[in-house]
Amino acid sequence: MGIAILGAVLQNRITANVSAGLETVKGLPEALKQTILDGLSAGGMQMSMPGGTEAAPGAAQQLMATLFKTWFTDAINTTFIVGVAFALGGAFCALLLRAQPQRALQKTASLDAQGESSPAVDGSAPVVTPDDT
């Protein structure tokens, strides 16, 4: 499930970056912008230039390639940050869960040292050993 979440974050960020970025590109035909956005919305991410850019001059193709790489890199950075945040949250939760049994063992050990009977693991009743009777 974690990979699906990261994939959704990546797809969302790429679509947002490209949508915002295409508005800043001057001279790009509206039909080409719409073709690019339709391809992204349908989940058709490819690691290449979108169709229709072959007819553009070489400098325009170079600019578009650079822009798409930048938009993709920004989306990957955001995805990694989300992944790290989830990993840190999971590690914190694991530390909290691990600390609970240790506290119960420490309490049991201190009760045993005082000569009292230890509470049951679930806390319902004391554990009675043969020496206690």
User: What does the pLDDT look like over 47-100, one tens digit per residue?
Assistant: 555 555 566 667 777 777 888 889 889 999 999 999 999 999 999 998 888 666
pTM for the structure as a whole:
0.57
pLDDT for 18: 85
| Two structure tokens written together for 45 | 């991410």
Give yes or no for residue 16 having a pLDDT over 70: yes
Residue 68, by phi and psi: left (phi above 0), alpha (psi -120 to 50) or beta?
alpha
Q: Which amino acid is at 32?
A: L
Asked if 78 and 5 touch (Cβ cutoff 8 Å), the reply is: no
Q: What is the pLDDT of residues 33-49, one digit of tens each?
A: 887 777 777 665 555 55
